[in-house]
Amino acid sequence: MIVKNHVTFVYKQSFSMEQTDKKQQLKLQRELELVDIARDIIESEGLNALTMDKVTERCDYSKGTVYNHFSCKEDLLVAVSNEGLKDLQQLFGKLNDFKGNGREQMMGLQIAYLYFSKLYPSQFMCVLSVKNPAILKRTSEKRKREQIELEIALEQRAHEIVNSAINNGELQLSPEREVKQVTFANWSQTFGALVLVNAAESLVGLQGIDVGKEFFTNAFILNDGLNWKPLSSEYDYFKAIERLKKDVFFEEEILISEQNIPSPKTALL
Amino acid sequence: MIVKNHVTFVYKQSFSMEQTDKKQQLKLQRELELVDIARDIIESEGLNALTMDKVTERCDYSKGTVYNHFSCKEDLLVAVSNEGLKDLQQLFGKLNDFKGNGREQMMGLQIAYLYFSKLYPSQFMCVLSVKNPAILKRTSEKRKREQIELEIALEQRAHEIVNSAINNGELQLSPEREVKQVTFANWSQTFGALVLVNAAESLVGLQGIDVGKEFFTNAFILNDGLNWKPLSSEYDYFKAIERLKKDVFFEEEILISEQNIPSPKTALL
DNA sequence: GCAGAAAATTGACTAATCGTCATTTTCTGA
DNA sequence: TCAGAAAATGACGATTAGTCAATTTTCTGC
């Protein structure tokens, strides 16, 4: 009896677990489906056009079910942003086979971010919008945790490059500076430039400025300032940019040109 | 008869102009009143809490009149952002009597921006939100023009500092670099850092990072990279930071400490 | 000061939208 | 097959953006 019970119990437990797993799987899958719908809406009609009603009518579920997945509209928005971060991670992944010195590797990350903002401008705006405390405040803990994990993963990638550069002597940090400061400097600079450039096409400060050139100039100056060798004056980093464009991100180049984005050539150097 | 008519005409014209001016004045004044209400709502209840109904019920006018001033909610938001830019301009103005070399002057602008984001965090979020094309698209031309003018004025200030540094030999630009690139590099870096730091307190990348230190470290690295003399290694820029805090922005320091913002000392070095 | 024209103001109203929850449907385990 | 649990539904209340016909105020010419 005990054994039987035990066996039964185990069986039940196991079965139940399987069931639960399957359910979880289905739930996750449906969540992605909903996020995809939201992404489509945002990408085609803009951030303002995203409404829960619209998501509901485009999917096979009811409003209540949608709200079963996302606690509120903001929660959905963060989910979209997180999916965007995963896309960015994918782009980072394409750099795995890219050979180059530390600064070139770091430039790889920056270019990946640039492509991300060009390919999915509305997605990028989501990532930005989600930095608004008013939105973050209403987001579920689960979603915020996911966001944090994704950001750690992205940051980690930059940390590794910096660490590696220190190890092979390209970069020497003065005692008062740390790896994370180098990452932060590069990250905030890239992010700021992308926001200013992408966000408002009408931003006057940028008129008469060549976006791609500015973007890389910033990076050159910054890492020269860190005395990260080789300096931009003693090495041709534009070759690396060309390689990144032609070897690593050629698919993205095609996508961008197909989407008929105005002068991608200028925008990307 | 002709003379009389003429005189009458002139008189009428003049009178009418006066009237119109007075009306414009009143309209402008009321517009500021409405923007102030919007600012209060945003600063106390967050960006999401800003509704036209709420603005209406807090002022002495009706909804229709409010819509007479602002074509839509987004238009009001841009108006708030523009008012924020004027506040920033005010903070820039406080630097007029501040003496220092070019880099110190530039740091002055950056610190002013930092204070702006600390003193009016929600206002700063407005400036950021307004970079969203979905919002800008719905804004009235008048408001957009105002925004552009304000941004030019702010940018001009930075340009002047760079130009002056070039003229007195502190800064030498290589042939392929221009003044506006230097401005853009400093501006985008400052902006990016403020967004990342201010926007999401929960942003993991910043945990364990001293905001103020990072902020200035970024600036040190960047302008060292431009070889803008004197370099951070050969000059104590922290003294200038102290002077800026104690002499130029002491009022802001007090305001911040009164508002009980957590560890402003750390946050501001 | 007055009549009529012009301009400004009003707030009720429509359409959208968020988020809820009582009811219905589906699933689960025996 | 069935009872109870879990999930899904969509009608509904509340809030909100934006409009516009009606009203009030201001202006104009005399």
Q: Give the bases of strand D that a protein CB approaches within 7 Å.
A: 7-11, 15-21, 27-29
B257 — pLDDT class (breaks 50, 70, 90): confident
Q: In angstroms, what separates the C-alpha of A99 from chain B's closest C-alpha? A: 25
Q: Does B31 touch chain A (CB under 8 A)?
A: no
Of A130, A180, A199, the CB nearest to B131: A199
d(CA B17, CA B23): 10
Report which secondary-structure segment, H or E, holds B7: helix B2-45
Select from A23, A33, A29 the least CA-distant residue to A60.
Answer: A33
d(CA A137, CA B122): 14
| Mean pLDDT value across residues B68-93 | 96
d(CA A159, CA A145): 21
Model pLDDT for residues A126-166, shown as the tens digit of each residue = 998 888 888 888 999 999 999 989 999 999 999 999 999 99
Of B185, B191, B199, the CB nearest to A132: B199
Of A200, A206, A217, the CB nearest to B185: A217
The answer on pLDDT for B255 being more than 60 is: yes
B18 — pLDDT class (breaks 50, 70, 90): low
Question: What does the pLDDT read at residue A16?
Answer: 46
Q: pLDDT higher for B8 or A179? A: A179
d(CA B109, CA B115): 10
Q: Does A51 touch chain B (CB under 8 A)?
A: no
Model pLDDT for residues B222-252, shown as the tens digit of each residue = 999 999 999 999 999 999 999 999 999 999 9
Q: Does A217 touch chain B (CB under 8 A)?
A: yes
Model pLDDT for residues A108-128, shown as the tens digit of each residue = 999 999 999 989 888 898 998
| Mean pLDDT value across residues B189-203 | 77
The per-residue pLDDT of chain A, averaged, comes to 85
d(CA B89, CA B174): 31
Counting one residue from chain A and one from chain B, the pairs whose CB atoms sit within 8 A come to: 180
Q: pLDDT higher for B258 or A70? A: A70
The answer on pLDDT for B197 being more than 90 is: no
Model pLDDT for residues A21-63, shown as the tens digit of each residue = 677 788 899 999 999 999 999 988 888 899 999 999 999 999 9
Q: pLDDT higher for B140 or B268? A: B140
Predicted TM-score (pTM) of this structure: 0.86
Structure tokens at B78: 């841009």
Enter the DSSP assignment of B125.
H
Q: In angstroms, what separates the C-alpha of B112 from chain A's closest C-alpha? A: 17
Report which secondary-structure segment, H or E, holds B6: helix B2-45
Q: Does B3 touch chain A (CB under 8 A)?
A: no
The answer on pLDDT for A7 being more than 90 is: no
Chain A's closest residue to B148, CA to CA, is A204
| Mean pLDDT value across residues B62-81 | 96
CB B135 within 8 A of CB B77: yes
Question: What does the pLDDT read at residue A258?
Answer: 83
| Mean pLDDT value across residues B72-95 | 96
Enter the DSSP assignment of B1.
-
The answer on pLDDT for B264 being more than 50 is: no
Q: Is B23 (CB) below 7 Å from strand D?
A: yes
Question: What does the pLDDT read at residue A197?
Answer: 83
The per-residue pLDDT of chain B, averaged, comes to 85
| Mean pLDDT value across residues A202-206 | 48
| Beta carbons of B222 and A180 less than 8 Å apart | no
d(CA B15, CA B152): 35
Model pLDDT for residues B33-70, shown as the tens digit of each residue = 999 999 999 988 888 899 999 999 999 999 999 999 99
User: Which residue is closest to D9 in terms of CA–C1' distance?
Assistant: A62
Model pLDDT for residues A41-51, shown as the tens digit of each residue = 998 888 889 99
Q: Does A135 touch chain B (CB under 8 A)?
A: yes
Q: pLDDT higher for B263 or B44? A: B44
Closest nt to residue B61, judged CA to C1': C9
The answer on pLDDT for B192 being more than 70 is: yes
B26 — pLDDT class (breaks 50, 70, 90): confident
Three-state SS across chain A?
CHHHHHHHHHHHHHHHHHHHHHHHHHHHHHHHHHHHHHHHHHHHHCHHHCCHHHHHHHCCCCHHHHHHHCCCHHHHHHHHHHHHHHHHHHHHHHHHHCCCCHHHHHHHHHHHHHHHHHHCHHHHHHHHHCCCHHHHCCCCHHHHHHHHHHHHHHHHHHHHHHHHHHHCCCCCCCCCCCHHHHHHHHHHHHHHHHHHHHHCCCCHHHCCCCHHHHHHHHHHHHHHHCCCCCCCCCCCHHHHHHHHHHHHCHHHHHHHHHCCCCCHHHHCC
Percent of chain B with pLDDT over 70: 83
